[in-house]
Amino acid sequence: MAKDIHRKPFDEGTKAKLSIFQDYLKEWLPVFIAKREIYWENINIYDFFAGPGSDKNGIKGTPLLILDELEIYLEKINEKSLNVNLYFNEFDHNKFEELKLKVGAYGLDSKPYRIDFDSLDFKDAFKKMATSMAKPDVANLVFLDQNGVKHISEGVFKYLIAIKRTDFLFFISSSTIKRFCDHPNIIQHINLSIEEVEKKPYHQIHRLILDYYQSLIPENKELYLAPFSLKKGANIYGLIFGSSHVLGIEKFLSTCWKLDSERGEANFDIDNDNIKEGQIDLFSGELDKPKKVELFEKELCEKILNQTLKTDKEIYLFTITNGFLPSHAKDVIKSLFNKNKIVNTSLPLHSKLCRYDAVLTSVILK
């Protein structure tokens, strides 16, 4: 039987997961609520595995974090006549009743948002909400904090990526997949190559899972995915974030790099680099860098110099889709300029470059 994380205090891995969720929510809400121009009056937030609202010590879970972040925007929601809809589903009846009590303490009668509660199996809850998610005039944030691997099937994933203006974040047990990859109950939900799983180091299995979901995205579909791995005791779990807008993935990556300043990918040393802060390479005399960063910098340099990447937009997209931030690319560009390899360094690397009417800047080689 799966462990019940709510019967004892949240561990550090769970707290890291909640921190990522809350930080992203802080970035997501103002995009749809606080902007001067409002394009979508209907904003939906779905939490399909809501839990009782907090752990044994009162540390808040996702439903209460959502309510806390909405407090900042109550006036704007009223002012702009927005329809903000929250959906909290918790299958366990006792937790469901506890959740309703804790949420009720926020004084919902006076709030300018609506909450629907359910105590359904995930399949039934998802089926019930599928139509509201897919309406043409909504923006959605979907959180799927499953305990295990069975709920985010190929069908669920493909439905989520087909919906416009939908960001999603789901939790999956990488350790379970590593241990039981050949079990029929695992294969029917996530069909990974057993050989590939066995070859992949235990601590890097989440990258393979990301590749699997990436393979389910149609070639002509603009959809960005990013992972974050979490070590909880001896086990490794993972978050996978998805967005159809490049700004969404940039904001999520920014959250990840706050938690992992070395790689932006895990709350542990995922590549076993064993680099200590401030550690100097004995041969170069420079600060040691993780392998992931070195490989990115090397590849970006090569692609700029051989003109595979010719514009600021191409550099920006290459950076984001490899899990890095514009600041990382700017360091590479500055280095190339200092080495007299390129003419210009003032390349505006941001999501606005992806607009249809964006004015692009070309990289000029010396």
| Cα 200 to chain centroid, rounded | 22
> What residue spans define the domains of the chain?
5-259, 273-366
Q: Judge contact between 74 and 112, C-beta under 8 A.
A: yes
> So what's the pLDDT on residue 279?
47
Q: What is the DSSP string of 96-148?
A: HHHHHHHHHTT-GGG-SEEEEEE---HHHHHHHHHHHHT-TTEEEEEEE--SS
Spatial distance between the Cα atoms of 235 and 2, rounded to a whole number of angstroms: 13
Q: Count CB atoms within 10 A of the CB of residue 242.
A: 23
Long-range pairs, 338-342, Cβ under 8 A, ≥24: 340/366, 341/305, 341/365, 341/366, 342/304, 342/366
Residue among 132, 168, 139 nearest 24 (CA): 168
> So what's the pLDDT on residue 275?
47
**Side chain identity, residue 82:** L
Residue among 244, 268, 12, 50 nearest 144 (CA): 50
Grouping H, G, I as helix, E, B as strand and the rest as coil, residue 189 is coil
> So what's the pLDDT on residue 206?
72
> So what's the pLDDT on residue 273?
55
Q: Looking at the domain that runs over 5-259, which CATH code has it been given?
A: 3.40.50.150
Spatial distance between the Cα atoms of 42 and 81, rounded to a whole number of angstroms: 10
Q: What is the DSSP string of 277-333?
A: TTPBPTTT-SBP--HHHHHHHHHHHHHHHTTSS-BHHHHHHHHHHTT--HHHHHHHH
Q: Judge contact between 294 and 300, C-beta under 8 A.
A: no
H or E element: which one contains 30? helix 12-33
**Side chain identity, residue 245:** H
Residue among 242, 233, 176, 232 nearest 205 (CA): 176
> So what's the pLDDT on residue 3?
54
pLDDT in tens, the chain (366 residues): 345 555 678 888 888 889 999 999 999 999 889 877 777 889 999 999 999 999 989 999 999 999 999 999 999 999 999 999 999 999 999 999 999 999 999 988 889 999 999 999 999 999 999 999 999 889 999 999 876 567 888 889 999 999 988 999 988 877 667 665 665 666 556 666 667 766 666 667 778 788 888 999 998 898 999 988 887 777 777 889 999 899 999 999 999 999 888 888 887 777 765 544 544 444 444 445 678 888 999 999 999 999 999 999 999 999 999 999 999 999 999 999 999 999 977 888 999 999 889 999 999 998
**Angle, in degrees to the nearest 10, between helices 12-33 and 246-259:** 150
The owner of tokens 């066995």 is: 198
**Side chain identity, residue 310:** K
Length of the chain counted residue by residue: 366
